[in-house]
Structure 1
Amino acid sequence: MQVVDLREVAAGLPLEWVSSEVGRVDGAGIRVLRMSGEPLPPEVHELPEALLVLDGELLLELAGRELPVRAGELFVVPAGTEHRVAAGSRGTLVLFEAGAAGS
């Protein structure tokens, strides 16, 4: 067992928007990444995805509206829901993805 400093992991990543798996719990991948401010294309997942903002702000677009998720906040995207990251999202993001494989 070890303690993982997620901000340290994110700071050590070579590129923004490239995640690193830091653990798994009951089949769910726990990944950390740095957001760059650039938007990402829409995506849909078969299973729910939890998004935890450690620092900064995630601007998430769902159903045509923008939802800000701020430092210390968690949002769960329901399975089958189209969503995308809007421009201006910056900081450190932790993803919890059921059934996600490591990269």
Structure 2
Amino acid sequence: MDRLFDLAQQAAQLEQAWRSKRLARVGDTSLKLTRMDAQAYPDETHAYAEGLLVLDGELHLDVAGETVTVTAGQLYMVPAGVSHAVRPGSHGTLLIIDT
């Protein structure tokens, strides 16, 4: 089991944008790394809250009809049951925290 993660290196090795790789579990929580590209990602809703931590770049979201921009070093919490989609122009590396 890995204990030290070089997130920049692991993100560079991801073969496909928007396909997350689970790095670890902490209790019931998953830590998943995703490489963003300029393409939009479709609307989704989860039965659980989801944390979106931008490591580098920026994430543009539509959350329940409101536009939100999350920049490097910022964490956005999407509440359970709330519809959200990625807008075009998002880029960089994203750490997803969910169950």
TM-score interval (norm. to shorter): over 0.9
Q: Distance in 2 between matches of 1:15 and 1:95?
A: 16
Tell me the TM-score normalized by structure 1: 0.91
Q: Distance in 2 between matches of 1:61 and 1:92?
A: 18
- Superposed, 1:58-69 pairs within 5 Å as 58-69=59-70
- Superposed, 1:10-89 pairs within 5 Å as 10-89=11-90
Describe the superposition over 1:29-88 as per-residue Cα deviations: whole angstroms up to 9, x where unpaired.
100010011001100000000000000000011121210000000011000000000000
Percentage of identical aligned residues: 42
Q: Distance in 2 between matches of 1:94 and 1:82?
A: 19
Runs of at least 5 residues in structure 1 that lack an aligned partner in the other structure: 99-103
Q: Distance in 2 between matches of 1:14 and 1:80?
A: 30
Structure ranking higher in strand proportion? 2
Deviation above 3 Å: which 4+ runs of structure 1? none
The residue type equivalent to 2:63 in the other structure is L
**Aligned residue pairs: how many?**
98
